[in-house]
Amino acid sequence: MGVLPRCGARHRDASEGHARPPRPPRVQPPPPGPKPWPIIGNLNLIGALPHRSIHELSRKYGPLMQLRFGSFPVVVGSSVDMAKFFLKTHDVVFTDRPKTAAGKYTTYNYRDITWSPYGAYWRQARKMCLTELFSAKRLESYEYIRAAEVRALLRDLHAASGSGRSVMLKDYMSTVSLNVITRMVLGKKYLDKEEAAAGAGSVVTTPEEFKWMLDELFLLNGVLNIGDSIPWLDWMDLQGYIKRMKKLSKMFDRFLEHVVEEHNQRRLREGKDFVAKDMVDVLLQIADDPTLEVELNRESVKAFTQDLIAGGTESSAVTVEWSISELLKKPEVIVKATEELDRVIGRGRWVTEKDMPSLPYVDAIVKETMRLHPVAPMLVPRLSREDTTVAGYDIPAGTRVLVSVWSIGRDPALWDAPEEFMPERFLGSRLDVKGQDYELLPFGSGRRMCPGYSLGLKVIQVSLANLLHGFAWSLPDGVTKEELSMEEIFGLSTPRKFPLEAVVEPKLPAHLYAEP
């Protein structure tokens, strides 16, 4: 798109007098887009997979496009230049969030990090994430947890492989991600079946229930709820989403209340000897700090805890499942990855996080998966805080802004054969996923970038590397690679519509799978 002319916040001139009542002129036109219908706007053009509908519209109307969702203008940026404008050049202008039913009902009335509005509360939460919860030192201190849970994943898959039947990969990946996150955030596996069987009394939610809750949370946080676009219809809950949000909120609160209460009881018991062991302990200590700019109450602690669990679990499970799906359609890529793993790691041990810089091809597979299947194909909506112009177009304050990572990942001006899965495109490339390269933004960028991206990346890389190192992968009998469905469902994340079933065959010495 080239250089963007006249980008910047616009200053209004109210000094001119007129015979008629002053009416501020529109200095610039709005971005191009389809003509909206009365009441519904352009909602009639958005299908069951909004990211695909919006991608097709942006191909027609360009990389900066205006839609109308009911009563609200929505601007979509779907190029590197537009992503840079919204997420970097004028990040602070577009760092607010629209008020949605999901934020209200599923995150304790906008108290979490994702949906809280721009202001002192959100700035404090972001600082807490960067300096306390996701600091390099704290993440490094939890590496033993990630290593142990990946070993457990490999052990469980090895046990399942003996039957010769196919395995449902997402079940295994969700378990490893959930166990890593609950041990790091909550201090133990609150959802562990063995604890429940032992009568430990701490299991208030089963693993199956919890996985359903996470899927539901991501779905409901990404849906186009009609009441968010046409507020006077909100009370009718035409799609039934608000009813589902309220049910989900009660289930999550029961679990989170139990967690917070257990942690509080330990603090009381240990008194001056108390040492924070996990992220909930850290949150509770921060909440007690009398010098905080904004008070953190119990609901804030629960909202942040929910954010940490959900964000850390979903991205890893979804990305690894898509990665193996793409590899099963391209067996030659598995061969190249195996050659690299055999050369660098050998057949006598597992891959560790420290090995990842020496595995550029496996890293390229991860990046290519994130390009084609970004966990959030459209970044969480932003809200313009000021009137702005971009590329000669008008964006008034209060406009909702979407950045289509999906479209950027399929831009033929950026990528050769953009629909093809080709990890080789990242070999020798300096492109990274850390929010500085706008061609590849799986975790977003700028102030609202996912604060836990480095943790998600570690779990994804080491899980995938070991799954490829420890097992030969194939499709079930009778299923060809051409028949493997790659359909998705849409929410805040975009998982496979049909969970991947695959046959795994161990290929390393048997004793490695038995390692604790």
DSSP readout, 347-365? Answer: SSS---GGGGGG-HHHHHH
Longest dimension (CA), the chain: 89
Q: How distant is the alpha carbon of residue 216 from its chain centre?
A: 14
Which residue is it, tokens 């009394």? 201
Counting beta carbons within 10 angstroms of the beta carbon of residue 481, is it exposed (0 to 12), middle (13 to 18) or buried (19 or more)? exposed
Rounded Cα gap, residues 406 and 50, in angstroms: 11
Counting beta carbons within 10 angstroms of the beta carbon of residue 136, is it exposed (0 to 12), middle (13 to 18) or buried (19 or more)? exposed
Rounded Cα gap, residues 55 and 67, in angstroms: 12
Rounded Cα gap, residues 460 and 322, in angstroms: 11
- Residue 432's CB is within 10 A of a number of other CB atoms, namely 13
Whole-Å CA distances, 201 to 197, 285, 513: 9, 25, 31
Can you name the residues that pair with 383 across neighbouring β-strands?
96, 400
Rounded Cα gap, residues 366 and 360, in angstroms: 10
129 annotated binding-site participant = no
**Cβ pair 385, 94 in contact under 8 A:** yes
- Which amino acid makes up residue 179? N
Sheet holding 388-390, edge to edge: 8-9, 388-390, 393-395
∠ CA 39-40-46, rounded to 5°: 170
∠ CA 248-253-259, rounded to 5°: 135
Task: For residue 499, give the H/E element and its range.
Answer: none
* DSSP conformation class of 276: -
Crossing angle for the helix pair 298-329 and 169-186, nearest 10 degrees?
150
Task: For residue 285, give the H/E element and its range.
Answer: helix 279-287
**Cβ pair 361, 336 in contact under 8 A:** yes
Rounded Cα gap, residues 183 and 149, in angstroms: 10
Sequence-distant (6+) residues with CB within 8 A of 123 are none
Annotated binding-site residues read 450
Give the residue ranges of the annotated binding site for heme: 450
